[in-house]
Structure 1
Amino acid sequence: MTDSPEYRKKRAFFDSLLTIYGRKPVLEALEDKNLPVHKLHLAESNRKDQLISRIEAIASERQIEVAYCDRKSLSRISKNSKQDQGVALDLALPKYGSAEAFLRDETDGTFQLLALDGITNPQNLGMIIRSACAGGIDGIILPRKGCAQIDPLVIKASVGTLFKTRILRCDRLAPILGEFATKGTQVNALSSHAKDTLRDIDDKRSHIFVLGNETQGVSEAVNQACTHRLRIPMQNGVESLNVAVTAALICFRNQL
């Protein structure tokens, strides 16, 4: 049974929602009129300080729906009760969606994606997003569990490029990589022990470059889903690079 066009459209909209939290990140997002906002959530118990007053004023100016709720309800929305500061914002980002939908709908030739496996450092995640955006990578596959989640630290490290970058969410990385592989995508695990290097890949094919955990590399399950292994040539006995640096080299490999 196939989903109706109406259902797929509705599902795509909800997949495009990104909820951010914290007074300063929310205020900065509201001040950027290029960011499409779906709904603002405020805790009823918020003290009306300068930031809250400014947030409410901009929401009124932009005619954004505001939902007032108790702290418990807000924590379910933000998924971070310790740091949401009584504020959450739903952004409807056209480049934010699911890896499954991308795989189903992608018909326009080749693509280049990054896939992140166990990247837990928010600073690294933000820097990877920034490099992907600047280098023209077509998207980043980000699992909903096991990686750093999008929070104020990631937004800050990305220097705002998060909102311009295609983020493709998935529940588990290994199965979706297997689905890409069955459709002809070359799925490359980055490994210092690989025989082939970035110079050896065929740019006429679609590629996914899988970046592993900062200390342990690509996990066994994800490694088994990969079709190829690649390394970055290094000199002077250096064995590995920071994962964000590795991502930057991949993103700009054809740009310089």
Structure 2
Amino acid sequence: MVSSDNSSQDSLERKDSPEYRAKKQFFDALLTVYGRKPVLEALRDPAVKLFRLHLAESNKPAGILDEIIAIARTQGAEIRYHDRKALSRISKNSKQDQGVAADLECAGYQSFQQFLEQPPAGAYRILALDRITNPQNLGMIIRSACAGQIDGILLPEKGGAQIDSLVIKASAGTLFKAPILRCPQLNQALEAFRAAGADVCALSSHAPQTLGDFRPGKPCVYVLGNETEGVSKETAQQCNRQLRIPMNNGVESLNVAVTAALIAFQPQL
């Protein structure tokens, strides 16, 4: 019999092994989408590879399900059947998953730690989203970031809009190509980026410096705040700089997705 101490030590060694880290890294990089139409649209995108398809055992025959299953089989993906309760734990949205969820391999989807382990050369640029709750705003931010000069989108797992059919639609399919950086807590990720030498800049209408006057000479994280409250106090404490977009005609602020687009296409000098 192996003692509990030795068993714990063996467990720690397994978790520290290259095989364990590689496996964890792979599963951390999977993006799970749910709903019949969103899953089908994702599988039709050549940039997306299906790893595992999850289906409810209670699903009734339907043409869209037949097409989803056919694509899964063509890709050689694993297909698993679950009861409704088990499927809801995977989709995390039992009211809208329609009995379907898919684990996708997307080239740009990774954890923020993975990004920091192998960052792009030069002064990379990141958008960090602090409690962005509107799915359409999130989708449009992703679209602008993907089209512009942004190297990553810090997307917290909680506190904001979750990736659903509205986000996919608003992103015009760019979600599956975009450089999404997962983080459990935004403040933890911002602290890590600062420790790695990046400027962390909060967008605020009260900031003394304008976005146009800012000339970052090193990596930079731009923090976009909630649609009505802006950047939270807790998140602002992780920022070492504040920037504003100058307004005319008494306009107080811009839609957060518009702000993201201005940053994404800001000329690099």
- TM above 0.5, yes or no, is yes
1:230 aligns to what? 243
Measured after TM superposition, the shift of residue 34 of structure 1 is 3.0
Deviations 1:51-89 (A, max 9, x none): 112222222222221111111111111110000000011
1:175 aligns to what? 188
Q: Does 1:152 align with 2:165?
A: yes
Stretches of structure 2 that go unaligned for 5 or more consecutive residues are: 1-11
RMSD: 1.6
2:51 aligns to what? 38
Alpha-carbon distance in structure 2 between the residues aligned to 1:109 and 1:191: 26
Shift in alpha-carbon separation, 1:26–1:105, aligned structure 2, 3 A: same
Q: 1:1-256 counterparts in 2 under 5 A?
A: 3-106=16-119, 108-254=121-267
Moved more, 232-241 or 27-36: 27-36
Measured after TM superposition, the shift of residue 107 of structure 1 is 6.0
Amino acid at match of 1:53: D
Alpha-carbon distance in structure 2 between the residues aligned to 1:225 and 1:208: 11
Larger radius of gyration: 2
Amino acid at match of 2:129: L
Amino acid at match of 1:43: A
Please state whether the residue corresponding to 1:253 is helix, strand or coil.
Answer: coil
Alpha-carbon distance in structure 1 between the residues aligned to 2:133 and 2:228: 10
Moved more, 50-59 or 113-122: 50-59
Alpha-carbon distance in structure 2 between the residues aligned to 1:220 and 1:87: 39
Please state whether the residue corresponding to 2:237 is helix, strand or coil.
Answer: helix
Amino acid at match of 1:146: G
Please state whether the residue corresponding to 1:128 is helix, strand or coil.
Answer: helix
Alpha-carbon distance in structure 1 between the residues aligned to 2:181 and 2:69: 31
Shift in alpha-carbon separation, 1:4–1:227, aligned structure 2, 3 A: farther
Alpha-carbon distance in structure 2 between the residues aligned to 1:216 and 1:174: 17
CA contact (8 A) 2:134 2:161 kept: yes
Please state whether the residue corresponding to 1:67 is helix, strand or coil.
Answer: strand
Deviations 1:106-161 (A, max 9, x none): 26222000000010000000000000000030010011110111111101110000
Alpha-carbon distance in structure 2 between the residues aligned to 1:70 and 1:97: 29
Alpha-carbon distance in structure 2 between the residues aligned to 1:27 and 1:176: 32
Q: Which runs of 4+ in 1 moved over 6 A?
A: none
CA contact (8 A) 2:128 2:223 kept: yes
Measured after TM superposition, the shift of residue 200 of structure 1 is 2.3
Alpha-carbon distance in structure 1 between the residues aligned to 2:194 and 2:67: 48
CA contact (8 A) 2:150 2:264 kept: yes
Alpha-carbon distance in structure 1 between the residues aligned to 2:83 and 2:128: 37
Amino acid at match of 1:135: G
Length-normalised TM-score, structure 1: 0.95
Alpha-carbon distance in structure 1 between the residues aligned to 2:195 and 2:75: 45
Stretches of structure 1 that go unaligned for 5 or more consecutive residues are: none
